[in-house]
Structure 1
Amino acid sequence: MVVFNLFITSFVIGFSGASAPGPMMTMVITQCSFKGWKDSIKIVFGHAMLEAVLIILLLLGLQPFLQDPIFLKSFTFLGSIFLIYMGISLFVSLVKKSSLELKNSDPIKIPLPLAGALVSLSNPYWLIWWVTVGVTFLGQARSLLMLGILSFYVGHILSDFVWYIFIGFVGQGLSLPFWNKLYKIILYLASFSLIFFGVYFSKYVILG
């Protein structure tokens, strides 16, 4: 019963975080409008693998290292550069190609799981959440041994998959003929959003 409660709690809290607008949502909508909803699974898989590695590091007692400002800023900078690059690349594609040519092309030129991990790293608040709130949950999960840790992780990740698969369907729907007149406008907004998030998160690196 305690394990099930931990699973439900981590799912609900994870869902509230997953549904917040941000670069991950923008990237999933953009990619799935080009290639289809199934690409959302690949993107979230990269995010999930990154969080699995992070949980292992936290369980090994590396929280102080993960909280180090140099570590935080280094990974945030890497992710921010990726967001800016992706936003600019999308903008250039929109300028050069017609709506028909855009469909079935691929805006992300790297493996989608890697893209999912990089977009997570771009957000400094993601890692800060894990070394504060996430550590508290892990403390409860750890007392229930491996079953507790797995319940926490599966509940947390399941919320990401449920939400972003839904967002993937929304993205795929944008490419339908009904949205044809708005399709490019929405993608222009997505490109500007990615650039904005990249610049905004890079301010954390510069200003601290």
Structure 2
Amino acid sequence: MAGATRIGGRAGLLTALGHGLVEAPLVVGLAFGLTRFLALPGVTAAIGIGGGLMLAWMGWGLLRAPADLVAAGAETRGSPPAGSLVLGGAIASVSNPYWVLWWATVGTAYVVAGLRHGVLGVALFYIGHYLADVIWFGAVGYGVAAGRRVLGARAHAWLLAGSGVFLIALASYFIYYGLGQMGRIA
């Protein structure tokens, strides 16, 4: 949601689009049995390690963002291209191990429940799920955009740094989990 400080809440909606573009084929894949593949230890290990590395990179980016950029106002740098926010939403989704875990468990159960009503059931589930994502990402995007004005530049910089530390800690957990799935950690 870094784009929200530059272009406002619209960044959340563009991020939701990228998120939805990777979820649509995933829902179709789950309807055709993809869950068995996602449950393989090698796949979960790769998702854990790869997702952990991605989260660490994102956390590091938040930590090294210069405070003067936040203080000066990130919106003065110009708007990021819409495509980069859509791509960012897609990458953030597929690199998040919890996203994969949710779809391999809870999401699969919903897809199976939808299949009881045929293709229409799965389509209606996906549309409802996607609309919930749009509402969530939109609310977060608008909240981030407004938060900088409400908190002030210094508090916003500290919040971003704290978020970076949190992401790095979460990344460490995912990498640890992935190595454990490979048998590298007892």
Instruction: Place the TM-score, normalised by the shorter chain, in its bin.
Output: 0.7 to 0.9
Matched, 1:147 2:120: yes
Give the TM-score normalised by structure 2.
0.82
Query: How far did 1:39 drift?
Result: 0.8
TM-score between both structures, scaled by the size of structure 1? 0.74
CA-CA distance at 1:168 after TM superposition: 1.0
Q: Which moved more, 1:81-90 or 1:155-164?
A: 81-90
2:30 is aligned with 1:68? no
Tell me the equivalent position of 2:100. 127
- Counterpart-to-counterpart distance in 2, 1:115 and 1:202: 21
**Partners of 2:110 and 2:153 in 1: CA distance:** 45
Query: What corresponds to 2:26 in structure 1?
Result: 54
Q: Deviations over 1:101-146 (max 9, x none)?
A: 534448x999222322332233333222222222222222112122
User: Could you tell me which amino acid in structure 2 is paired with residue 43 of structure 1?
Assistant: T
Residue 42 of structure 2 corresponds to residue 41 of structure 1: no
Instruction: Give the match for residue 112 of structure 1.
Output: 85
* Kept in 2: contact 1:31–1:171 (CA 8 A): no
**Structure 2 CA distance for partners of 1:66 and 1:104, relative to 1, 3 Å:** farther
Q: Distance in 2 between matches of 1:172 and 1:69?
A: 40
Deviations 1:144-169 (A, max 9, x none): 12211111001111111111211111
User: Does the 8 Å contact 1:34/1:175 carry over to 2?
Assistant: no
What is the count of residue pairs matched by the alignment?
Answer: 179
Letter in 1 for 2:111: L
**TM-aligned CA deviation for residue 176 of structure 1:** 1.7
Instruction: Indicate yes or no: 2:52 matched with 1:80.
Output: yes
Unaligned 5+ segments in structure 1 are 1-27
Seen in structure 2, the aligned counterparts of structure 1 residues 140 and 100 have a Cα distance that, compared at 3 Å, is same
Unpaired runs of at least 5, structure 2: 182-186
Q: CA RMSD in A?
A: 2.5
The percentage of aligned residue pairs carrying the same residue is: 27
Partner deviation per Cα, 1:57-90 (whole Å, 9 max, x = no partner): 1122222112112122223322322221122123
Tell me, in whole angstroms, the C-alpha distance in 2 between the residues paired with 1:124 and 1:98. 29
